[in-house]
């Protein structure tokens, strides 16, 4: 989908003519941060000897410093380290004081150090962590069943200081030369290629080439019994590393990394500047992926693909690789000045990844898929307690919490996409190229990016975008149409902040880049909404209308009744994206009580047999949520029957079996419809799922990987003890990790209360190996859907163990997400009291967000049940 924006008159009137200030070089003195700026590191030489058995680090460090004003103290970050033999320019210093609470070491020198270059050197003793903070040990079971352990790092945001004392703030870019001494049979990977390896008895010391100037949070070191597959392309060495024996599962990732790198070299107009790029699969505990420059680490589930992998696994691998690789430019080559601007890294990488995934896999309909994430972000951002994309960060906890997936990633991605469409993709790319060129090997702020885009587009982009990144929330755009005697339509537009519980009368406003399409097929017109009651021409009154054409906007639309009726009547002829936007918005209006349930159900009913995947996902989600709310009400069965009737036509169109020429999104839709119809009690679907499962038990190839999750889940939902035992045996016998995760997840759909209890025991049992520890929380959370009390009890009794693998975002999960999992069965006050007692006090605003959603869901349930019961189900 491509949209050429035509700039409105309003926009032309505010054309930006200011001088481009984006090229002003970044100065470290201007960066926020806690460390003094009078002493700046230039280069580090760090030698570590980790002892995996004792979980300790012996280190030696030498740092070349630039002293910018005479001083008798030098201050830098350290945590859990003891320094000894501390010298400046070879001479012993007067005093060394390390404070683990402040995460600082202060070195005092007898007489003032002069301005200029000096060298600080010391030895230190530190520790290897058990969680992904700094250098940590990751136990795993190898493919041949052996217990192993590898050492690897996770430094972002503020944990490089746990591996070696350093200036651990993003503005302090420096060169890092790393050496590590480990058992001789181990292999090592770091940011740069190996330059030297010296073997002494059972140990080997490996030295890596010095990195370019970069922030400490990008330093990487992995060591263990690992192996790689490799390729060389355009002068760059690519490696995919995994635990020995699994490296061949990196073949698709190795192909992906080369495709993506070539695309990004072109897009950024700046060639990847390092000589090599490794992708490293870390078993188990480490969640997600990390963009360490030249040495990206991934949870192995995100990088390795086997015959058991589904299309969803392949999509996830490509899009996560595309995300981490976008950071190699935006994040690594150009770094945010301080954690306030982490959104610059994350929103950009998320947007770029979606763009790249869509480009290389058009049949995945990736932007439509991403619409679900945008909706999730809008759900979070519609809270009165939401926060802005740009947030002030003053300490380590806030830095960690600023990685809010819904706002920092998904909302930011959507905002960038909205403005890319508004400026046009070429102008937007030109601005990005200028920005990268101007700030390469340096740091930058949000305003530097807006200035570059302003220069490229010759308009003041900062003034338009600020409302989207500096204030929380988004607008509801109301559309009132009037028709003249010949049927020509003019619309009058107004905006108010949209909230979960309705609209906010207070005075927030945005400059809204609308895409207006009048008629089903016309090209959209870009209009910038800047004033209340602004009017715009909008085709003819008998034509359908979208003011969010392409579903590109991060706003909701409320059409007047007559316009909505015209859109509903013509729903079948709208473009997929415009239908999706209308379904999204109308459902949100119903949820918040702004509009009535029949207005949404009329749209869902108008889909007929059309097989647009995202539209049906949206509908299936809405129907499932009403059905869930209706449970225990007299109207439940009538509503479930109605929902089955809505979902059957597209399923009958698709049937059970994949056709040869089907695209992945159609297969995805089939799986969704099977799962939802099964969940809604469709007898035909349940019977067929059981038959297929019986064949699968004898021969696993009877159900292809893509369909296993939905079919096994239906079987588990309605399982008796004997069937549950069969499912359990299938999971226990799975050798491949992708498979066993899929099978154990399916078990958690069980509805029978006694079997659910058994499911919780499985989730906590050693059947789940060490590297899948993080799965346990997911499994217990899945059980919450059907068994609120049981899941809540098990979670509380085991919370420390369940949360242990989530070292980085654990507090955010508890504060913001946990309440939403238990809203329907646990009293709000009980959830709130528990959560507040289990997160740091300063996370109060995060708890408020979680609890606002709980209270909204309770009020919504009340509204939906009444509306669904009153609805004529014919
Ligand atoms: Zn990222």
Q: How far is the CA of 220 from the centre of ligand 1 (A)?
A: 16
Q: How far is the CA of 411 from the centre of ligand 1 (A)?
A: 14
Confidence of residue 404 (pLDDT cuts 50, 70, 90): confident
Q: How far is the CA of 219 from the centre of ligand 1 (A)?
A: 15
Q: What angle do CA 856, 857, 859 make, to 5 degrees?
A: 65
Per-residue model confidence (pLDDT) at position 874:
64
pLDDT of 19 above 60: no
Percent of the chain with pLDDT over 90: 85
Please name which of 859, 836, 860 lies closest in space to residue 849, comparing C-alpha atoms. 836
Distances (CA, A) of 376 to 145, 527, 740, 849: 40, 26, 28, 14
Q: How far is the CA of 263 from the centre of ligand 1 (A)?
A: 18
Q: How far is the CA of 322 from the centre of ligand 1 (A)?
A: 10
**How confident is the model over 289-335, as pLDDT tens digits?**
999 999 999 999 999 999 999 999 999 999 999 999 999 999 999 99
Q: Which of 144-153, 179-188, 471-480 has the lowest mean pLDDT?
A: 144-153
- Mean pLDDT score, 710-725: 98
- Mean pLDDT score, 803-810: 82
CB neighbours (10 Å) of residue 307?
9
DSSP state of 573: G
Cα–Cα dist 670/703, whole Å: 14
- 862 burial (CB, 10 Å; 0-12 / 13-18 / 19+) is exposed
Secondary structure of 800-818 as H, E, C letters: HHHHCCCCCCHHHHHHHHH
DSSP string, 594-652: SS-HHHHHHHHHTTTT---HHHHHHHHHHHHHHHHHHTTSTTHHHHHHHHHHHHHHHHH
Specify the higher pLDDT residue, 596 or 872: 596
Active site residues: 324
Cα–Cα dist 326/332, whole Å: 9
Percent of the chain with pLDDT over 70: 97
C-beta separation of 408 from 347 below 8 A? yes
Q: How far is the CA of 293 from the centre of ligand 1 (A)?
A: 12
C-beta separation of 582 from 603 below 8 A? yes
**How confident is the model over 550-580, as pLDDT tens digits?**
999 999 999 999 999 999 999 999 999 999 9
Residues in contact with 620: Cβ distance below 8 Å, sequence separation at least 6, in sequence order: 647, 672, 673, 676
**How confident is the model over 658-673, as pLDDT tens digits?**
888 899 999 999 999 9
Confidence of residue 285 (pLDDT cuts 50, 70, 90): low
DSSP state of 405: I
Structure tokens at 684: 């035909």
Q: What angle do CA 353, 354, 357 make, to 5 degrees?
A: 85
pLDDT of 497 above 50: yes
Structure tokens at 831: 């959830």
Per-residue model confidence (pLDDT) at position 11:
26
Q: How far is the CA of 325 from the centre of ligand 1 (A)?
A: 9
Distances (CA, A) of 186 to 148, 153, 180, 288, 373: 12, 16, 11, 24, 41
Secondary structure of 120-162 as H, E, C letters: EEEEEEEECECCCCEEEEEEEECCCCCEEEEEEEECCCCCHHH
Q: How far is the CA of 405 from the centre of ligand 1 (A)?
A: 10
Q: What angle do CA 463, 468, 472 make, to 5 degrees?
A: 135
Cα–Cα dist 863/874, whole Å: 21
Q: How far is the CA of 682 from the centre of ligand 1 (A)?
A: 41
**How confident is the model over 812-835, as pLDDT tens digits?**
899 999 999 999 999 999 999 999
Q: How far is the CA of 835 from the centre of ligand 1 (A)?
A: 27
Per-residue model confidence (pLDDT) at position 774:
87
Q: How far is the CA of 586 from the centre of ligand 1 (A)?
A: 32
Q: How far is the CA of 409 from the centre of ligand 1 (A)?
A: 8
- Mean pLDDT score, 764-769: 91
Per-residue model confidence (pLDDT) at position 28:
76
Confidence of residue 392 (pLDDT cuts 50, 70, 90): confident
DSSP state of 530: -
Q: Which of 11-20, 672-681, 769-778 has the lowest mean pLDDT?
A: 11-20
Helix axes 576-591, 366-381, angle to 10 degrees: 20
**How confident is the model over 73-118, as pLDDT tens digits?**
999 999 999 999 999 999 999 999 999 999 999 999 999 999 999 9
Preceding peptide of 157 cis, ω within 30°: yes
**How confident is the model over 49-59, as pLDDT tens digits?**
999 999 999 99
Q: Which of 21-25, 143-147, 233-237 has the lowest mean pLDDT?
A: 21-25
């Amino acid at each position: 989908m491509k949209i050429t924006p035509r700039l409105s008159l309003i926009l032309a009137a505010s054309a930006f003519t200011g001088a481009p200030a984006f090229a002003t070089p970044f100065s470290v003195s201007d960066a926020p941060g806690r460390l003094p700026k009078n002493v700046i590191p230039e280069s580090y030489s760090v030698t570590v000897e980790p002892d995996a058995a004792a979980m300790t680090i012996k280190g030696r460090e030498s740092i070349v410093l630039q002293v910018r004003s005479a001083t008798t103290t030098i201050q830098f970050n350290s945590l859990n380290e003891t320094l000894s033999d501390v010298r400046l320019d070879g001479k012993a210093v007067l005093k060394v004081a390390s404070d683990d609470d402040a995460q600082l070491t202060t070195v005092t020198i007898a007489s003032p150090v002069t301005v200029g270059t000096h060298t600080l050197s010391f030895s230190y003793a530190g520790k290897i962590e058990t969680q992904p903070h700094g250098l940590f040990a990751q136990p795993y079971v190898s493919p041949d069943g052996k217990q192993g352990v590898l050492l690897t790092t996770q430094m972002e945001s503020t944990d490089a200081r746990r591996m070696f004392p350093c200036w651990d703030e993003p503005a302090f870019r420096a060169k890092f030369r790393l050496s590590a001494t480990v058992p001789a049979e181990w292999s090592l990977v770091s940011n740069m290629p190996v330059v030297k390896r010296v073997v002494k008895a059972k140990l080997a010391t490996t030295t890596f080439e010095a990195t370019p100037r970069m922030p400490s949070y990008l330093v990487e070191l992995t060591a263990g019994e690992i192996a790689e597959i490799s390729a060389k392309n355009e002068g760059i060495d690519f490696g995919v590393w995994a635990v020995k024996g699994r490296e061949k599962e990196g073949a698709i990732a190795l192909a992906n990394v080369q495709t993506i790198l070539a695309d990004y070299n072109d897009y950024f107009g700046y060639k990847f500047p390092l000589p090599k790029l490794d992708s490293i699969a870390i078993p188990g505990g480490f969640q997600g992926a990390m963009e360490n420059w030249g040495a990206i680490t991934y949870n192995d589930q995100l990088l390795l693909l086997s015959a058991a992998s589904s299309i969803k696994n392949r999509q996830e691998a490509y899009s996560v690789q595309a995300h981490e690789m976008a950071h190699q430019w935006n994040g690594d080559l150009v770094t945010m000045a301080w954690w306030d601007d982490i959104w610059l890294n994350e929103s950009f990488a998320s947007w770029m990844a979606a763009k790249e995934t869509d480009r290389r896999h058009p049949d995945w309909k990736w932007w439509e898929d991403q619409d679900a994430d945008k909706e999730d972000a809008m759900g979070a951002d519609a809270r009165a307690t939401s926060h802005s994309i740009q947030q002030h960060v003053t300490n380590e906890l806030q830095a960690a919490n600023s990685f809010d997936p819904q706002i920092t990633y998904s909302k930011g991605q959507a905002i960038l996409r909205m403005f890319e469409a508004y400026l046009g993709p070429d102008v937007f790319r030109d601005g990005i190229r200028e920005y990268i060129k101007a700030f390469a090997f340096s740091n930058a702020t949000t305003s530097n990016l807006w200035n570059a885009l302003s220069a490229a587009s010759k308009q003041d982009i900062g003034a338009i975008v600020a409302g989207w990144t500096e204030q929380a929330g988004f607008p509801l755009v109301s559309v009132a149409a009037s028709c003249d005697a010949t049927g020509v339509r003019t619309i009058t537009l107004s905006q108010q902040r949209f909230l979960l519980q309705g609209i906010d009368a207070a005075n927030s406003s945005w400059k809204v880049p609308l895409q207006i399409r009048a008629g089903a097929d016309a090209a959209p017109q870009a209009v910038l909404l800047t004033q209340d009651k602004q009017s715009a021409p909008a085709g003819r009154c008998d034509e359908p209308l979208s003011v969010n054409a392409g579903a590109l906007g991060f706003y909701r639309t409320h059409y007047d009744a007559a316009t909505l009726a015209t859109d509903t009547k013509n729903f079948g002829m709208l473009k997929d994206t415009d239908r999706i936007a209308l379904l999204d918005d109308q459902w949100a209006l119903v949820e918040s009580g702004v509009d009535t349930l029949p207005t949404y159900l009329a749209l869902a009913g108008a889909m007929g047999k059309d097989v647009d995947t995202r539209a049906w996902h949206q509908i299936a989600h809405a129907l499932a949520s009403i059905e869930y709310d209706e449970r225990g009400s007299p109207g439940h069965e009538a509503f479930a029957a109605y929902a089955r009737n809505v979902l059957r036509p597209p399923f009958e169109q698709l049937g059970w079996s994949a056709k040869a020429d089907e695209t992945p999104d159609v297969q995805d839709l089939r799986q969704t419809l099977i799962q939802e119809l099964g969940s809604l009690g469709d007898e035909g679907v349940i019977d067929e799922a059981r038959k297929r499962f019986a064949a699968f038990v004898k021969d696993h190839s009877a159900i292809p990987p893509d369909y296993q999750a939905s079919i096994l889940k239906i079987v588990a939902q309605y399982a008796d003890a004997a069937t549950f035992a069969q499912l359990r045996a299938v999971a226990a016998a799975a050798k491949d990790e992708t498979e066993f995760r899929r099978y154990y997840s399916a078990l958690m759909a069980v509805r029978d209360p006694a079997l659910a209890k058994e499911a919780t025991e499985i989730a906590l049992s050693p059947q789940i190996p060490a590297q899948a520890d993080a799965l346990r929380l997911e499994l217990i959370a899945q059980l919450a859907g059907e068994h609120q009390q049981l899941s809540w009890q098990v979670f509380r009794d085991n919370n420390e163990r369940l949360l242990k693998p989530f070292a980085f975002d654990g507090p955010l999960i508890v504060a913001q997400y946990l309440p939403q999992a238990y809203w329907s069965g646990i009293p709000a006050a009980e959830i709130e009291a528990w959560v507040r007692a289990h997160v740091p006090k300063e996370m109060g605003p995060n708890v408020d967000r979680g609890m606002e959603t709980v209270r909204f869901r309770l009020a919504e349930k009340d509204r939906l049940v009444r509306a669904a019961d009153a609805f004529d189900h014919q």
